[in-house]
C-alpha cells in the first residue's frame, strides 16, 4: 500500500477515536417535563432546571420557555437566547423563533416562528395573503 493512503487511514481512525471520546450530553426523557438548560463553564455538565410539569407537547414547552425568556428580558437581562429540553430533545429560543435538535450541538431544525407581534406560532397557522390579493400600499 502507498504511504499516503496509510497516513490518511491513520488520520481517519484517529479522528474517529477523538470523536468517540467527546462527551454526548442527552436531554432528560421525563414525560411532560419542560426544562431550561443552563450551560456552565466549558467542560462542566449543563444544569437542567424544571420549568413546568404536565406539558402535553413540545410546543407547550416552547411557550413556557418563551415566558422565562421574556421575564429575564423584562427584569433587565440582556440574554436573548434560551436553551430548553423536553422529552429527549433540546429547544433553542431566540428573537427569530424556536428550533429543535436531538443533541446539544446537533443540527437545529426550525420549529416555531414569530408572529408580527413577537409571539411564537407553529408554521402553517399564520395565514398570509398571496401578493396578488394584498391591498396596494
Domain boundaries, the chain: 25-117
CA 120/CA 27 separation, integer angstroms: 22
What is the reported pLDDT for 33? 98
- pLDDT tens sequence across 79-92: 899 999 999 999 99
E strand or H helix that includes residue 92? strand 89-94
Among left, alpha and beta (phi > 0; psi -120 to 50; other), residue 80 is alpha
- pLDDT tens sequence across 17-68: 444 455 778 999 999 999 999 998 887 899 999 999 999 999 999 999 999 9
Q: Choose among 103, 107, 123: nearest CA to 115.
A: 123
- pLDDT tens sequence across 5-21: 444 444 555 544 444 45
Location of C-alpha cell 428550533: 99
Asked whether the beta carbons of 117 and 39 are under 8 A apart, the reply is no
Amino acid at each position: 500500500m502507498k504511504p499516503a493512503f496509510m497516513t490518511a487511514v491513520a488520520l481517519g481512525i484517529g479522528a474517529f477515536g477523538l470523536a468517540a471520546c467527546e462527551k454526548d450530553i442527552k436531554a432528560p426523557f421525563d414525560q411532560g417535563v419542560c426544562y431550561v438548560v443552563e450551560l456552565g463553564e466549558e467542560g462542566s455538565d449543563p444544569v437542567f432546571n424544571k420549568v413546568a410539569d404536565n406539558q402535553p407537547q413540545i410546543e407547550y414547552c416552547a411557550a413556557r420557555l418563551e415566558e422565562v425568556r421574556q421575564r429575564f428580558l423584562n427584569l433587565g437581562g440582556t440574554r436573548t437566547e434560551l436553551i430548553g429540553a423536553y422529552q429527549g430533545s433540546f429547544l433553542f429560543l431566540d428573537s427569530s423563533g424556536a428550533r429543535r435538535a436531538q443533541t446539544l450541538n446537533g443540527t437545529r431544525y426550525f420549529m416555531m416562528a414569530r408572529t408580527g407581534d413577537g409571539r411564537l406560532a407553529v408554521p402553517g397557522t399564520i395565514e398570509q395573503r398571496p401578493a396578488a390579493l394584498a391591498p396596494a400600499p
